[in-house]
Structure 1
Amino acid sequence: MSNNSAKILFMTTLISGLFITISSNSWLGAWMGLEINLLSFIPLMTNYNNIFTTEASLKYFLIQALASSILLFVVISKSITESLFSFYNSMISSMIMSTPLLMKSGAAPLHWWFPSVMEGLSWNNCFILMTIQKIAPLMLISYTINFNGFIILIILTSIIVGAVGGYNQISIRKILTYSSINHLGWMIMAMLLGENLWLIYFSIYSLLTLAIILIMNSLQISFINQTFLINNEKKTVKILLFLSLLSLGGLPPFLGFLPKWMVIQSMLFNWSPLISSVMVIMSLVTLYYYLRISYSSFIILSSDSSWVLTTNKKKLDSIIILISAFSTLGLILSTLVISIY
C-alpha cells in the first residue's frame, strides 16, 4: 500500500485499537480493541507489488481470528460460570486466558504461523508485527499471569525454540522472527519478576529492532549473503548493522545487554538459578549465530567491488546516528539504570 490517506487511516485505527485494549476495564472491551487492531493491520499488509503478502495476510487473519474467537468464548463462559467478570486467580484460569493471547503474540509452541507470515511482509510491516502488534496481547497477559508450571513451560519453550530455530536460517526476516520468539520468553519472565520490568525490556527491544529494520529497509537486504557486499562508502553502516545485531543478541558492552542483565539479576534474587542458567545458555546460542554472520561478513567473505550504487546519504547518516546511539551507549546506560533499579 502506497503512502496515502488510507494508510494513515488504518494506522490511526490500529493505534486506537491498541489504546482501547490497554485502557479497557472489561474483557469484552479488550477483545473489541484487539479486533479493531487486527482489522486495521490486514489492509496495511497488502501490497500488490509483492505476491507473498496475500498469503501472509490470510494466514495472519486466520490465526488471529481463531485466537480472538477462543478468547471471546473463554470470556463469555467464565463470566457465566463465575461471578460477572471477576476471575479467580487460579492456575486453570491463568492458563485458559493466556493461551489465546500467547497465540496472538507468537509465543512457542504456538508460534508456527509467525515465521511464514514474516517472510511475506515488507520491512515496515515486519516492524509493526514484531513490536506494536505484541503490546496489547502482552499487556493482557500481564493482568492474569502468575507463577505456575504452565507459564514456566511457555517461557522455556519460547527461549529454546527461538534459539535453535534461527540457527540454520539464511533469511534475515526469519532470524529476527526467531530472535523475537526468544525475547518473548524473556519478556514473559520479566512479567513474573516485576510489574514494569517487561516494559523496559520491550522498549529497548523495540528500539534495537527499529534500528536494524531501518538499515535493512534502506539497503533493501533480505538475506545473509547480501550483507557481504556492503562495503566502500557504506562500511560504517555495515559495522553499525552488525553491532546492532550483537546488541540484540545481548552482548554485554551494548544496550541489548541491559534488559537481560536486569532480568537475570531479579531472577537470582527471587527464583531458582536453574531456570536462569537455561535462559543464559540459550541466549548464548542466539548470540552465536549473530557472531557467525558478523565474522563471515567482516573477515572471510569481505570484498570491495570496483563500483557501487549511489545511495541516499542523508538517510544513511540518520541511521548511523541512530544505531551508534543505541549501540555505543549501552554500557553507560546499563550501569546507570541498574544503579537506579
Structure 2
Amino acid sequence: MSYTSTKILFMTTLISGLLITISSNSWLSAWMGLEINLLSFIPLMSNNDNMLMTEAALKYFLIQALASSSLLFVVISKSMVESMFTILNLPLSSVMISTPLLMKSGAAPLHWWFPSVMEGLSWMNCIILMTMQKIAPLVLISYTINSNSFLTTIIVISVTVGSIGGLNQTSIRKILTYSSINHMGWMLMAMIMGENMWLLYFMIYSLLTITIITIISPLNISFVNQTFLIKENNKVMKFLLFSSLLSLGGLPPFLGFMPKWMIIQFMIINSSPTIVTIMIILSLITLYYYLRISYSAFIILSTEPCWIQKNNDNMNALKLSFILMTISILGLNAFTAFINLY
C-alpha cells in the first residue's frame, strides 16, 4: 500500500466501521460495522512487494471472517429464539456472544493467530492492530459482560499466556503482542469494575504502545539485540524506549502502574484475593523480562549500526517520543496530585 490517497480512504472507512459498531443499538448493525472495519484494514495490511505482509493479511482475514461468521450465527440464532436483534436483553447468551469477540480482540486462549500476524506487519499497522482494532470488540464485550467462571478463566489464561509467552522472545513485535494479551486480561477485569475504568486502562495502554513504536519505527529496529546497538552517545533514545517499556509493564512510579493499582484495590475490596495474587505474580514475570532487556541494553557497549538512518525523521520522532514519555513518567504523579487537590 503505497498511495497516500488510498490510505486515507481506507483509514476513513476503517474509522467509520468502528464508529458504526460503537454507536449501533442492534447486533446486525454492530456486525456490519465490524465487517466494514475488517475490509478496510485488509488492504492497509497487504503489500505486493512484501510476502510477509500479504501472508499476515490473509491470516488476519481468515481468523476475523471465522469470528464474524460465528458472531452472526449466534446473533441470528438468538433472534429466532427471542424475536429481537437488540444488544440488551442477554440473560444467557453472553458467553456465546463474547467468544467470537474475544477471538477478534486476541484474548487467550483464542490468541494463536495474533503473534504470527503481528510478525508480518509494518510498525504503523502494528499500532492499528494493537489499539484501534481492539476498540469495537471490547465495546461489544462490555455490553454483555458478566462476572462468571467463564470470564474469570479467560482473564487468568490471558494474563498467564501474556506473561510466560514473552519470556523467551527476541522479536520486539512478539514481545509487544504477548504484552497486549497480558493487558487484555487486566482490561477484562477492569470491565467488571465499570465502563470508565476499562476505557481509562485502554487509553493508557494505547498511549504507551504508540510511544514505544514511535521510538522504534524510525530506527528500523525489529529485534531485542538491535536495541543494544542504538548509538551509544545518544542515551536519551535508549532512556525513552526502556522507560516506556517499563511503564507498559506496570513499574511504579510510571503511568502504566496507575490503572493496575486501581484494579488491585477494587479486587481487594471485593474479596478476590486469589485471582488478584495470580494476576500480580504473572505481571511481575512480564516486568522481569522488560527489566532484563533494559539492564542488558544499558550495560552492553556498542557502536551505531549502518541501518539507523541519519535524517530529520529521527529528530522529529525523538521530540514526539520525549513528549509522550514525559506523560508516561509524570502521569501517575499528575493524576495523584489532581485527585488529592480535587
Q: Helix, strand or coil: the match of 1:221?
A: coil
Question: In structure 2, how many angstroms separate the alpha carbons of the residues matched to 1:212 and 1:2?
Answer: 24
1:146 counterpart = 2:138:
no
Question: In structure 1, how many angstroms separate the alpha carbons of the residues matched to 2:231 and 2:218?
Answer: 15
1:328 counterpart = 2:302:
no
**What's 1:266 paired with?**
266
User: What CA deviation, in whole Å up to 9, does each residue of 1:286-333 have, x standing for no partner?
Assistant: 00000000011111x222459986242531332342233223213313
1:155 counterpart = 2:161:
no
Q: CA 1:85–1:316 in 2, change beyond 3 Å: closer, same or farther?
A: closer
Question: In structure 2, how many angstroms separate the alpha carbons of the residues matched to 1:278 and 1:78?
Answer: 35
2:211 and 2:321 in contact (8 A); partners too? no
Q: Helix, strand or coil: the match of 1:319?
A: helix
Structure 2 runs not aligned, ≥5 long? none
Q: Helix, strand or coil: the match of 1:107?
A: coil
Structure 1 runs not aligned, ≥5 long? none
Question: In structure 1, how many angstroms separate the alpha carbons of the residues matched to 2:10 and 2:321?
Answer: 30
| Between 258-267 and 154-163, the greater mean CA deviation after superposition | 258-267
Partner amino acid, structure 2, of 1:192: I
- RMSD over aligned Cα atoms: 1.8
**What's 1:16 paired with?**
16
**What's 1:302 paired with?**
301
User: What CA deviation, in whole Å up to 9, does each residue of 1:58-103 have, x standing for no partner?
Assistant: 000000000000100100110111231356443x411000000000
Question: In structure 2, how many angstroms separate the alpha carbons of the residues matched to 1:22 and 1:337?
Answer: 30
Q: CA 1:3–1:318 in 2, change beyond 3 Å: closer, same or farther?
A: farther
**What's 2:229 paired with?**
229
Q: Between Structure 1 and Structure 2, how many residues are aligned?
A: 339
Q: CA 1:340–1:105 in 2, change beyond 3 Å: closer, same or farther?
A: farther
- Deviation of 1:262 after TM superposition, in Å, equals 1.3
1:240 and 1:323 in contact (8 A); partners too? no
Q: TM-score, normalised by structure 1?
A: 0.95
**What's 2:129 paired with?**
129
Q: CA 1:158–1:76 in 2, change beyond 3 Å: closer, same or farther?
A: same
Partner amino acid, structure 1, of 2:215: I
- Deviation of 1:339 after TM superposition, in Å, equals 4.7
Q: CA 1:95–1:201 in 2, change beyond 3 Å: closer, same or farther?
A: same
| Between 272-281 and 303-312, the greater mean CA deviation after superposition | 303-312
2:228 and 2:302 in contact (8 A); partners too? yes
The ranges of structure 1 where at least 4 consecutive aligned residues each deviate by more than 6 angstroms after the TM superposition are none
**What's 1:27 paired with?**
27
- Deviation of 1:277 after TM superposition, in Å, equals 0.8
Q: CA 1:306–1:80 in 2, change beyond 3 Å: closer, same or farther?
A: closer
Q: Helix, strand or coil: the match of 2:234?
A: helix
1:100 counterpart = 2:85:
no
Question: In structure 2, how many angstroms separate the alpha carbons of the residues matched to 1:98 and 1:270?
Answer: 24
Partner amino acid, structure 2, of 1:243: S
Q: CA 1:35–1:133 in 2, change beyond 3 Å: closer, same or farther?
A: same
